Amino acid sequence: MRKKGVFSLVAAGLLASSLSVGAVKAEGNEYELSKKSIEGQIEKPLNKGIIDSRTFNQLEKEVKGSQSYLTKSLNKMGVMSSAAASDEEYLLEKEYNDTFNTANSTSYDKPTIGQLLPLYDVDFHKVVVPVNGILLVAGAANSYAIDLAYAAVQKDFVENDKLVYLGSEYEDGVEYQAYQAKGGTYYVGVFDNDNDYYDDNTEEDLYALATAFVDNVAPNKPTVNKVDNNDKVVTGKGESGATITVKNGNTVVGSAKAASNGNFTVNMAVQKAGTKLIITAKDKAGNVSASVSVTVVDVVAPSKPTVNKVDNNDKVVTGKAEVNSTVTVKNGNTVLGTGKTPSNGSFSVTIPVQRPGAKLTITAKDGAGNVSSAASVTVGDVIAPSKPTVNKVDNNDKAVTGKAEFNSTITVKSGNTVLGTGKTPSSGSFSVTIPVQKAGAKLTITAKDGAGNVSSAATIVVVKH
């Protein structure tokens, strides 16, 4: 037989107004199944820490406190008073409750008081477990006439991993049982274990039950959407009502509660690309999920490079761009060269010498493949035209002719005196009108391009016609 838990209650007629013993139907089959299920539990002590002291004390208070609840709710005649009905500090068993379908509902806030009459009476009390966690049941009787036996079971005594008996503890007349339960509805079956020997129960012989729930199951690891270096929020899905915390190392960058559908949005400051964020979910009971990590993705393109002057004598393009970016130099759609920016951001890209006036475009691409807007530079002209070639000039000529760089300006001088200027057409041939010069006069001829570069001077002596 199980240990008899005893608590002192008012002796006479406690449940007379609430329980109709005559209406109770003894169900032999339910009794035997309940007995078999309850006695099938392995007697084992609870591991330390399963019931915390606060929960333990509350259950003890509810079971043992039933005496004071009942005492103040009864008048001198031992009949429930109107005050008792409004007090609602405990629940009274209501027959017929001998089957799963007729089970009484329990409350985590109030103890239940019941009788086990007539012989082979079995009572069922329904308890709802809100989420995965530990279901605790405490019970005691006020009389040695009741050898109180009870256990939490699934409907129709189904056995699986939804409800796992963890053990029990007996202290000072009260038995405490613990079950690891998944969210759902369960039943506490109660019977008098000494019915096999004799029926000595009276209406004064009562039992009390109290239930509690402890959420000891951590939430599932949250699922987190992609985070980039442009985002000011972290979004995803977690346990409903859980507090989602986002950390960068040991620093909390933001937290928020998951909505009823599990969706969450945590505000935070924009994080650098490559930063590793750690996200956890903590439920209302303080259980913390395993962490999930997400690396901040780089979606922000580098800034437009700054480019130094490039001329038609240069074999490199230099400037500044984002560190570790790849700099590409193009002429139209033709890639002239690429190079990597070192830690100081300066770059130098080798290219073939370009013609003056060529428009080069320069972009920077970071490691994530983001490409900057293009900087452009026009190749400057720093190379002077070649020295013109000049035809013979005599003292009868009114023009100086020859060949020079296309589009250059030809200047003819006698000493420091400019005799005439002219433009070379696309053929490069030029003809510059001058006054007739005396035989023996020395003329200098130069070509100046559009960038202002002046060739070295060609010299001729005016000959006699």
- All domains in the chain, ordered by first residue: 21-214 (2.60.120.380), 223-295 (2.60.40.3110), 306-378 (2.60.40.10), 389-461 (2.60.40.10)
Here the tokens at position 41 are 């539990």
pLDDT at 27: 47
Mean per-residue pLDDT over the chain, rounded: 87
pLDDT at 117: 86
pLDDT at 79: 37
Residues 282-313: tens digit of each pLDDT: 998 899 999 999 999 999 999 999 999 999 99
pLDDT at 16: 34
What one-character-per-residue DSSP string does 19-46 give? --GGG----HHHHHHHHHHHHTS---BP
pLDDT at 39: 65
Most confident of 51-55, 61-65, 184-188, 202-206: 184-188
Residues 188-221: tens digit of each pLDDT: 999 888 866 666 788 888 899 999 999 999 999 9
Q: What totals of helices (H) and strands (E) does the chain contain, helices first? A: 4, 31
In the predicted model, what is the mean pLDDT of residues 110-135?
92
Instruction: Tell whether the model's pLDDT for residue 318 goes beyond 60.
Output: yes
Distance set, CA 277 to CA 222, 228, 251 (Å): 13, 11, 10
Separation CA 22–CA 11 (nearest Å): 20
- Assessment of whether the complete model's pTM goes beyond 0.85: no
pLDDT at 26: 40
Q: Would you place residue 29 in the very low, low, confident or very high pLDDT band (cuts 50, 70, 90)?
A: low
pLDDT at 240: 93
Q: Residue 350, Cβ neighbours under 10 Å: how many?
A: 12
The type of residue at 458 is: A
Distance set, CA 6 to CA 55, 61, 145, 209 (Å): 21, 14, 10, 12
